[in-house]
Amino acid sequence: MLQLITVLVIAALIAVDQLIKFAVLEHLAPIGSYCLIDKVLSLTYVENTGAAFGSLSSHTALLSAFTAVVPVVGLIYLLTGKSTSKLAYVCITAIIAGGAANLIDRVFRGYVIDYIEPLFVKFAVFNFADILVTCGAIILIIRLIYDIVKQAEEDNANKGESADE
């Protein structure tokens, strides 16, 4: 049952991303940019042929192949029940959905549609799928670091106990 829910959540997140991008194409692409909050946030239509911050823009096929591998491996990992952490499960689900959503753009459009532009800092224009990947990855990394530190503390405590015997 968990596997079905996972697939449905991933599909729903991909659908949300694609619906937003459809709206961006229909309403934002013709005007290019729309300021939502002065000096804070703008909606700006960008066709990104690369990865994060436009890197690898001349290697779209290679980028598409790599982007296809990550969601597939992640999905296999989740559906085989390897993840024991609920938080890791949610993070990997978000990463898969975001990666797959941007892959759809790369395959069918040849570029990823980006539209969220922070104005208060010099930063790249990004999209909902990027948020899923970035937040999922950051939270997952923090959790992994926490687990490593916790395990090291337990190992040190166990060494201290065995040395006292």
What is the number of other CB atoms lying within 10 angstroms of the CB of residue 75?
18
Could you tell me the sign of the dihedral formed by the alpha carbons of 121, 46, 128, 33, in that order? positive
| Mean pLDDT along residues 132-145 | 96
Tens digits of residue pLDDT in 17-45: 999 999 999 999 999 999 999 999 999 99
Instruction: From the candidates 130, 147, 155, 164, give the one annotated as an active-site residue.
Output: 130
Whole-number pLDDT of residue 55: 54
Q: Would you say residue 56 has pLDDT above 70?
A: no
Q: Taking the domains of the chain in order of start, what are their residue ranges?
A: 2-164
**Catalytic site includes residue 147:** no
Look at strands 112-118 and 33-37 and give their pairing: unpaired
What is the number of other CB atoms lying within 10 angstroms of the CB of residue 108?
9
Full-prediction pTM beyond 0.85?
Answer: yes
Q: Would you say residue 154 has pLDDT above 60?
A: yes
**Catalytic site includes residue 130:** yes
Q: How many residues does the chain have?
A: 165
Instruction: From the candidates 17, 38, 105, 114, give the one annotated as an active-site residue.
Output: 114
Nearest CA among 69, 68, 50 for reference residue 58 = 50
Angle, in degrees to the nearest 10, between helices 128-164 and 86-109: 150
Contact criterion met (CB below 8 Å) for 53 and 124 = yes
More confident residue, 62 or 115: 115
| Mean pLDDT along residues 84-104 | 94
